[in-house]
Amino acid sequence: MDPYAQVNTMLQVLQLNADYTPMKVTSWERAVEMLLDGTAISVEDVADRYIRSERLVLPWPAVIALRKYRNVRSRVRFNARAVLARDQHTCQYCGWAPSFPDGRPDRGELTLDHVVPRAQARQGKVYLYWARKWVNTTSWENAITACKRCNQYKANRTPQQANMTLRALPRLPTQADILRMSLARLRRLPTGWETYLPRVVLLAPEAAAGTAEG
């Protein structure tokens, strides 16, 4: 591992719940605060790395766990970057997942697409024909990741009108999605984290939620 990448991953700490299920990625500063005030314990440390001050020497935390179980919030603020992370930075029409040579997703080739376009909205809401309900035009249930080419081709049409098929229906993020969004900010996964991360987080979610066909 190059020195820059090592320092970058050390700045982030994986936070587990009291039952050792992963919750989120937090900063090393916040992790140290939680260790010192007793709300968390250290589970994994970075080898041969220490945080030093005049009064203490503390192993650099890599993974921490809460002492008391905490109910997890399953909501996340809606934004384009979060939609891309939910969809694994993959076009939900053609399946293209653009990336740089080092494996990082190339977000510049991706866009947020309104499945039912804004041009067809009525008073800020659109009708989801596959779910048979009205939702806000810009919402988790009407937004997906699309490459620029597919978005341009679809234009102001629904997938049905454009004779396009969605690989998976847009949906509210699951807890696994939320954790995946935190991990997406890292240049690489720190050593040792895999032990505590379920495969559903490490792998792309399957398009088992259904499809919307033209």
pLDDT of residue 202: 62
Question: Pick the residue with more confidence: 183 or 185?
Answer: 183
Instruction: Check whether residue 127 and residue 98 sit in a common domain.
Output: yes
7 & 36 share domain: yes
Domain co-membership, 63 together with 137: no
CA distances, 17 to each of 22, 39, 41, 188, 189 (Å): 6, 11, 11, 22, 19
Which range marks the domain in which residue 145 is found? 80-172
111 Rama sector, left if φ>0, alpha if ψ -120 to 50, beta otherwise:
beta
How far is it, in rounded angstroms, from Cα 175 to Cα 5?
A: 27
Lowest model confidence (mean pLDDT) among 57-61, 69-73, 115-119, 208-212: 208-212
- Threshold 0.75, pTM exceeds: no
Ranking 51-55, 62-66, 73-77 by mean pLDDT, the lowest is 73-77
Mean pLDDT is lowest, of 34-43, 93-102, 134-143, 195-204, for 195-204
Is residue 212 assigned to a domain? no
155 against 9, higher pLDDT: 155
Answer whether 74's CB lies under 8 Å from 58's CB. Answer: no
Average pLDDT of the chain, as a whole number: 87
Does one domain contain both 67 and 109?
Answer: no
Structural domains in the chain (count): 2
The kind and range of the H/E element at 113 are: strand 110-114
For residue 99, what is the domain's CATH number? 1.10.30
Does residue 151 belong to any structural domain of this protein? Answer: yes
Q: How many helices (H) and strands (E) does the chain have?
A: 7, 8
| 115 within some domain | yes
Note whether residue 129 is domain-resident.
yes
Query: Residue 4: is its pLDDT beyond 90?
Result: no
- Asked whether residue 5 carries a pLDDT value surpassing 60, the answer given is no
Check whether residue 61 and residue 112 sit in a common domain.
Answer: no
Same-domain status, 101 and 68: no
